[in-house]
Amino acid sequence: MAQKIDFEALKTISPSEIKPLQVLDENGKVIDPNFFPDLSDEQIVELFKQMLWSRVLDERSTKLNRQGRLGFFAPTAGEEASQIASEFAMEKPDFLLPAYRDVPQLVLHGLPLEKAFLWSRGHVLGNEYPEDLAALPPQIIIGAQYVQAAGVALGFKKKGAKNVAYTYTGDGGTSQGDFYEGINFAGAYKAPAIFVVQNNGYAISVPRAVQTAAPTLAQKGLAAGIPGLQVDGMDALAVYLVMSEARKYSVAGNGPVLIETLTYRFGPHTLSGDDPHRYRTADEEAEWEKKDPLVRLRTYLDEKGLWSEEQEEAYIEEVNDQINEAMKKTEQAPKQKVSEYLQNVFVETPPTLEEQIAKFAAKEEA
């Protein structure tokens, strides 16, 4: 099938022509059948289930955090189309470089859920990654994942692998130097990377307009000479379409793509004390809630008779069971040991550390 999106043209598009691509309107109706992704009904149901899984995970994680059973947590509700539909378009050997909010993608990419919980609690076992998991743990330094993605993508290109590196940042992250360096390096090497900017309107309390005078974030691709496009980040089918087409374009050797998803986080920045009511209005929140990505896709499936309330209830129960199971494993994790920490610093441990290892090991045994 012909490429639905002319990526080459996007390298020279005027910023004023950048418009968010949509597949479903807010009532769940298909806007233009020519821009409908190659997904079967079963696949769309599966995509919806993964988004629902993420919403339930977000709700439960918030509660578990309030109970003190989870630590650091950056809420994801509202961003399911942006996060889950983009992950849905990727393949297992594609390399994911997530930011701190992108835990759902990591779990769907293969990270066991209990490890995601252990990461939240600050336990090394959460970061011991299975051999075949093509991903890094969530990146805390905003922008670092972008320059590293350029490197992974160049590695894939040199190895002749037909895979992409894909990475995420937020709207605030586009102001970082590493954001520009990352997209520019990938462009200069024509490396297979997909850079996603999840524009949820705020970087903690700072609105998007304070980050840059540029009318879109997608147009920042022009500075690197790479295609940049905007997509309705509350529309799962549109995000999937753009990501899967970008993946094809990039894997074919055409270089990287920058994708801006227009989205919203319903919750606070993190659960570490942020209060969005200091900087957002109730009207604005209500406006975005009408665009809830789950509602839109559920309406679409409902009308095709592909999803029912009973199915939803049963599935939510299944997810809750899965979360309970993972929490049980999380809470059974052994205590961390400084002696093991010391062993993880180097492959060839120097004598100076051997001495410290012995000291802590003796304490830990006592």
Partner 1 sequence: MAKTTMIKAITQALEDELKRDKNVLVFGEDVGRNGGVFRATDGLQDKVGEDQVFDTPLAESGIGGLAVGLALTGFRPVPEIQFFGFVFEVMDEIAAQIARTRFRLGGTRKMPVTIRAPFGGGVHTPELHSDSLEGLMAQTPGLKVVIPSDPYDAKGLLTAAIRSDDPVVFLEHMKLYRSFKQEVPDEAYTVALDKAAIKREGKDVTIISYGYMVHESLLAADELAKEGIEAEVVDLRTVSPLDEETILGSVKRTGRVVLVQEAQRQAGINSQVAALIAEKVILSLEAPIARVDAPDTPYPFSDAETIWLPNKQDIIEKVKETVNF
Residues that bind partner 1 (CB under 8 A): 95, 124-125, 127-131, 136-137, 141, 144, 146-156, 158-159, 161, 165, 177-178, 181-182, 184-185, 188, 341, 343-348, 350-353
- Tell the smallest beta-carbon distance from residue 96 to partner 1 (Å): 11
Q: 161: which residues sit within 8 A by CB, 6+ positions away?
A: 93
Nearest to 216 by CA among 15, 7, 22: 15
Please confirm, yes or no, whether 277 is among the known catalytic residues. no
- Of 165 and 323, the one with the shorter C-beta distance to partner 1 is 165
Helices (H), 96-231: 103-109, 113-121, 144-159, 177-188, 208-211, 221-224
- Tell the smallest beta-carbon distance from residue 145 to partner 1 (Å): 9
> Do 239 and 263 touch, CB atoms closer than 8 A?
no
Nearest-angstrom CA–CA distance, 284 and 163: 39
Position 215, amino acid = P
Q: How far is CA 266 from CA 142, 183, 200, 293, in A?
A: 21, 29, 9, 11
- Tell the smallest beta-carbon distance from residue 365 to partner 1 (Å): 20
Q: How far is CA 96 from CA 25, 154, 264, 316, in A?
A: 29, 14, 22, 27
Selecting among 55, 109, 121, 269, the annotated active-site residue is: 269
Selecting among 101, 208, 265, 298, the annotated active-site residue is: 265
Nearest-angstrom CA–CA distance, 137 and 110: 12
- Of 28 and 138, the one with the shorter C-beta distance to partner 1 is 138
- Of 95 and 307, the one with the shorter C-beta distance to partner 1 is 95
- Tell the smallest beta-carbon distance from residue 265 to partner 1 (Å): 25
Task: Count Cβ atoms below 10 Å from residue 57 Cβ, excluding itself.
Answer: 23
- Give 198-218 as a 3 state SS string: EECCEECCEEHHHHCCCCCCH
Please confirm, yes or no, whether 100 is among the known catalytic residues. no
- Tell the smallest beta-carbon distance from residue 270 to partner 1 (Å): 19
- Of 34 and 352, the one with the shorter C-beta distance to partner 1 is 352
Please confirm, yes or no, whether 123 is among the known catalytic residues. no
Task: Count Cβ atoms below 10 Å from residue 19 Cβ, excluding itself.
Answer: 12
What's the angle, vertex CA 4, arms to CA 257 and CA 50, rounded to 5?
70
- Tell the smallest beta-carbon distance from residue 339 to partner 1 (Å): 13
Which positions are annotated as active-site residues? 265, 269, 279
